[in-house]
Amino acid sequence: MKYDRIITATTVATTLLFSLLLSACSNGENGGPDIPETRNAQLTIHLASSQNARPVTKAQQEEKEDDRYEQKIETCWVVIFDKQGTWKATASTTDFTIDHSDPNSESTARVELPEGTYTGYAFANLNNLTQGDALIQKLESGKQDDNTPLTENYLQDQAVSLIEPANFKPTDGKAIPMSSYAQKLEVSETGKNEADIPLFRMLGKVTISVSNQTGSELTLKQLSMGNFREGAIRLLPYSQGDITLNNLAGRPVHEVSLAPKFPDNNNTNAKTYTHTVNQPDGGTKIANTANATFSFYPFETGTESNTSGSLNVEIQINNRPASARSTGLSFMRRNDWLNIPIVISNIESVIRFKNTRMPVGGLPYEIVYGKTDGIQFLVDAVNEIVPGYAGPVDIEVEVKSITGISGLTILASDASGESTLRSSAALTDNEDKLLIDKDKGTPLSTGTTESPTTFPVTIPNPDQPTIARFQIWTQELSQQSEATIRLNLVAEYGDTDPKKRIEIPYIIRIQNYKTTTTRTTQKGGNS
């Protein structure tokens, strides 16, 4: 434990002087003004790595392996400053008890400080920064250099760089550097004197899941994603107003309230790179209806790093030409978790949105998945309605064969047959109360896991079994609002008995604001 020696010496001198005054008073001599005794108290600090933003469901074994790696704390520090921003103490790795069996690598240290209010900053795994040793020496000594004390302002302005991105992986990878926001620390003789400081990883995570819905085994030969930014980043996590990374976990990534922030004058020197997912010789075999999941840890990336304004994925299946698609995402913050589902199919899907205020002769807005090659990047299907619109929105989905498959038919919610698998549309988020019950005019709830709120998926024209539809109702709201629906499309095709089936999940978002704007109201949770 490193402490400010001047403060320690002052405390000792004050205590000695106070003892002399007590002796004088006990001898009955003239008393002087009382000098309050400087009292110390013990502060207990708990560190733990925070959760990723946008958690997703994955295979249990892989999830545990990833979690252990992402939460790993090998080395850690807490740097403590007083109200004036002057360095007072640093608790370092040897002062902490790191519980490696805990899923969050929870670490605990006890620091003795004079009573008062302090600010603490926590760090972990700084050895895996390019200039990590020099930074660690400053944190532990409390000095920027031989003649300059360490200050809060120095930490807030500090830029750092991570080692090569290939070093960060669950198997034999380097521990991920982390840092925290400023944390208020209260130390008193009678107080609880405990502080929990969450740490945020200085990079993000991408999970790409590839689902085979082709009816036969396929071979994944190539998978890559870019462009990601490689360059200096801020040592400390960033914020915008009262929005921080801490209240973004679980929020959809399209809410751009908090964009990545980079050190001044460092972004022009940043490079871009593409991450290629290594494949075994001959490629990765994926059985029909099976999924293959790939995760990696790229650096945080802002829109200014991408001339196209988008992060793209390139994929090659069997002997088909490589296919590049936009993910619909243009940035990734530190600690973000981007989940990108891809379905390999033999069909093209079209989702159309129709409302009663469409202009005369106007065509409904539509989104096409799997055009020409059946490779469907399942980005959110977003329909923007005008803020004052209230009424029905018909959502239509059409499937088309691209490889000559026969008998293609969508299974409606009430389709007959032995199997229980049918198309469904379930409301998953209506916190803003945008969607309402048509008859009652009241906002819809999402229901429960066992009994979710659903909308019937029908086949309007039996002569067109490749077109299905469901309807929702919106209400007029003054604030920016949205709702989310999960459409699980089930179709069958072929001449065999039973027929082959394809199942593709789509996320449909209805919102009454333009995506390019920033929401004026915030819900709790994560992005």
Which pLDDT score, from 0 to 100, does residue 526 have?
30
Coil, helix or strand at residue 147: coil
List the one residue out of 128, 130, 232 whose CA is nearest residue 176: 128
* pLDDT tops 50 at residue 432: yes
Q: Which residue has the tokens 């000559």?
A: 404
Strand partners, 89: 3, 80
pLDDT score, position 409: 94
The predicted model gives 90-96 an average pLDDT of: 87
Check whether 152 has a pLDDT greater than 90: yes
pLDDT score at 124: 94
Pick the more confident residue, 263 or 520: 263
Give per-residue burial for 482-494: e unless 16+ CB within 10 Å, then b.
Answer: bbbbbbebbbbbe
- Convert 201-270 into a string of H (helix), E (strand) and C (coil): ECECEEEEEEEEECCCCEEEEEEEEEEEEECCEECCCCEECCEEHHHCECCCCCCCCCCCCCCCCCHHHC
pLDDT(523) > 60: no
182 is written with which tokens? 């400023």
pLDDT digits (tens, 9 = 90+) for 385-421: 988 889 999 999 999 998 778 899 999 998 876 666 8
Integer angstrom CA distances of residue 324 from 186, 275, 314, 318, 514? 53, 14, 4, 15, 26
Question: What mean pLDDT, rounded, does the chain reach?
Answer: 83
pTM listed for this prediction: 0.81
Tens-place pLDDT, residues 470-501: 999 999 999 999 999 999 999 999 888 888 88
pLDDT for 519: 35
Q: How many residues does the chain have?
A: 527
Q: What is the mean pLDDT of residues 273-279?
A: 95
Alpha helices in 52-131 (DSSP H): 60-70
pLDDT tens for 177-231 read: 999 999 999 998 888 888 889 999 999 999 999 999 988 999 999 999 988 999 9
pLDDT tens digits, one per residue of 14-53: 232 223 233 333 344 455 555 555 678 888 888 877 666 4
